[in-house]
Amino acid sequence: MRAALLIITLLSSAAFAGPTRLKELIEVQGARDNALIGYGLVVGLTNTGDTEQVLFTMQSVAGLLGRLGVRIDPRDVRARNVAAVMVTAKLPTFSRTGSTLDVTVSAMGNARSLAGGTLLLTPLTGADGNVYAVGQGPVQVGGFDATAALASIRKNTPTSGTIPQGATVERAVQPSLAGPSLVLRLRRPDFTNAARIADGIDAALGGKSAKALDSAAVEVTVPEADKANPIGLIARLEAVEIDADVRAKIVISERTGTIVVGERVRLRPAAVAHGGLKVTIGTQLGVSQPGALATSAQTVVVPSQQADAQEGQRSAVKVPEATSVDDLVKALNAIGAAPRDLVAVLQALKLAGALEADLEVL
């Protein structure tokens, strides 16, 4: 129960804090990934594909065969080795024709597994409707689905898989960086960090070259000497280091009971009384016998249920003020609650105004 809190100390110790490169904090506006999507067929499955009830799969098979010179009515298609899939990928900025992309393949119909299948030639289009890449190749699935006459077993999600380097870029994306200024977008908007980034860039370039537009963007005026080489300017800006500020935050996973505490979390003095309610419901079986003179009655089993409730007896615990992660861990351990119970304790401390941090529950 205390292991999760020990991990908090190791991950959040202030001794590891230091300057952060702009490369980790910003992105150049206009240089971003683009989402691609396509519809295709996976073939070569071992009787785990879509059934005849998935009409669009049968229509796709008939259409594919028609383009290859084989005419067939979609209603006559009986193929359990084929599955209709959606294919997705991300097209990086400044990608060149001939580059390869990783693609994700997900079943659309009632296919049980895509293991062992091969994706046929699938055009991948962007939001503008243009084809930017073409995907094809064997699907890699991180799970399995085995079905017998009276039993079945499944691990992970066999209806979704990936094709490493399974798409080839057919249309290049080359945004222009030429211009009098560059706009740097913060991955996590923050007014303090935006101001510090502007000051750090001014110190690196000299003069007043940068201006924070808001919490999410910093505008940099391109010096005359760098207008012919904006890539070199961006590389120098990415190497600039600042003391990045972070919000005080506690991340909680109710599913696993994991609690991760950030560096700047503060705890004011408070009193906590935490107790548990244990409810037990038991079933006892009794026998009802018919009378001695009964002729048609039968012996039956009569269940009876008993309920018992026990409430844990715990006194209030004084939680001292905590100004460091180590002090906070000791204060939480003093409460004596399991990590899962600490979720409710931390939420109550936040509502009481004793916890100075944002709570993010996953």
pLDDT digits (tens, 9 = 90+) for 79-115: 889 999 999 999 988 888 999 999 999 999 999 899 9
**Mean pLDDT lowest among 67-81, 203-217, 247-261, 299-313:** 299-313
- Best-predicted range by mean pLDDT among 10-24, 30-44, 65-79? 30-44
CB 107 within 8 A of CB 57: no
CB 139 within 8 A of CB 122: no
Residues 6+ apart with CB under 8 A from 317: 271, 272, 273, 274, 334, 335, 336
pLDDT-derived band at 292, boundaries 50, 70, 90: low
What is the predicted pLDDT for the residue at 244? Answer: 87
DSSP annotation of 108? -
Domains and CATH numbers, the chain: 1-18+246-284+304-362 (no CATH), 19-30+175-242 (3.30.1360), 34-169 (no CATH)
**Where are any strands of DSSP class E within 148-298?**
152-155, 160-169, 181-186, 210-214, 217-221, 241-242, 249-253, 258-261, 266-267, 270-272, 277-288
pLDDT-derived band at 333, boundaries 50, 70, 90: low
> Three-class SS of residue 79?
coil
**How confident is the model over 310-328, as pLDDT tens digits?**
555 555 555 566 656 566 6
**How confident is the model over 48-84, as pLDDT tens digits?**
889 888 889 999 989 988 888 888 888 888 788 999 9
Strand 358-361 and strand 249-253: pairing? Answer: parallel
What is the predicted pLDDT for the residue at 52? Answer: 86
Q: Average pLDDT, stretch 125-148?
A: 84
Residue with tokens 């180590």: 326
Instruction: Report the distance separating Cα 274 and Cα 315, nearest Å.
Output: 8
Instruction: Report the distance separating Cα 247 and Cα 9, nearest Å.
Output: 18
CB 270 within 8 A of CB 349: yes
Strand 217-221 and strand 181-186: pairing? Answer: antiparallel
| Nearest of 102, 9, 86 to residue 40 by alpha carbon | 86
pLDDT-derived band at 118, boundaries 50, 70, 90: very high
Share above pLDDT 70 across residues of the chain, in percent, rounded to a whole number: 71
Q: Quick one: residue 353, left, alpha or beta (phi over 0 = left, psi -120 to 50 = alpha)?
A: left
CB 201 within 8 A of CB 28: no
Q: Average pLDDT, stretch 113-127?
A: 93
Instruction: Report the distance separating Cα 223 and Cα 205, nearest Å.
Output: 8
Residue with tokens 């020990």: 6
pLDDT-derived band at 193, boundaries 50, 70, 90: very high
Residues 6+ apart with CB under 8 A from 319: 267, 269, 270, 271, 272, 331, 334, 335, 349, 354
Establish how many alpha carbons lie within 13 A of residue 95's alpha carbon, considering only the half-sphere containing its beta carbon. Answer: 21
Per-residue pLDDT at 9 exceeds 60: no
Host H or E run for residue 335: helix 325-335
Instruction: Report the distance separating Cα 290 and Cα 299, nearest Å.
Output: 6
Sheet holding 210-214, edge to edge: 26-28, 181-186, 217-221, 210-214
Mean pLDDT over the full length of the chain: 79
Q: Average pLDDT, stretch 237-260?
A: 81
Query: Burial level of 26, CB count in 10 A (0-12/13-18/19+)?
Result: buried
What pTM was estimated for this model as a whole? 0.63
Instruction: Report the distance separating Cα 9 and Cα 325, nearest Å.
Output: 6
